């Protein structure tokens, strides 16, 4: 993959970030399935699930929990790339906008 020198550096997509993103999509689907029961009174996306308010609440709450977990893991993985991204950003600023470089002491 070619990295364009004309744009600021961005985080790399790693296998872990992709896996957590897929978990986030699963959580979003759970929220949608649970919320569809509240909107229509029956399973809107899956015909036989959820069949009661308890199942709808459990599905929605579980989806929110999975989404929260996966987003925190994605942010943790991006934070691990911080030093590398800072070095790439400093090189980008030095090459493209030298007038905005921080003083040498920083």
Query: Could you give the CA distance from residue 81 to residue 87 in angstroms, rounded to a whole number?
Result: 10
**Six token digits for residue 17:** 């970030």
Higher per-residue confidence, 49 vs 19:
19
**What was the pLDDT predicted at 47?**
80
Q: Are 30 and 63 in contact (CB under 8 A)?
A: yes
Model-level pTM?
0.79
Higher per-residue confidence, 48 vs 72:
72
Q: Are 100 and 10 in contact (CB under 8 A)?
A: no
Sign of CA dihedral 16, 17, 18, 22: positive
């Amino acid at each position: 993959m070619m990295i364009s020198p004309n744009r600021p550096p961005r985080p790399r997509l790693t296998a872990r970030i992709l896996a957590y993103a897929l978990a986030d999509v699963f959580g979003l689907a759970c929220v949608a399935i649970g919320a569809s029961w509240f909107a229509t009174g029956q399973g809107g996306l899956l015909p036989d699930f959820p069949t009661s308010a308890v199942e709808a609440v459990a599905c929605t709450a579980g989806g929110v929990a999975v989404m929260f977990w996966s987003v925190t893991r994605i942010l943790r993985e991006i934070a691990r790339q911080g030093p590398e991204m800072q070095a790439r950003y400093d090189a980008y600023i030095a090459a493209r906008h030298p007038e905005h470089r921080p003083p040498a002491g920083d």
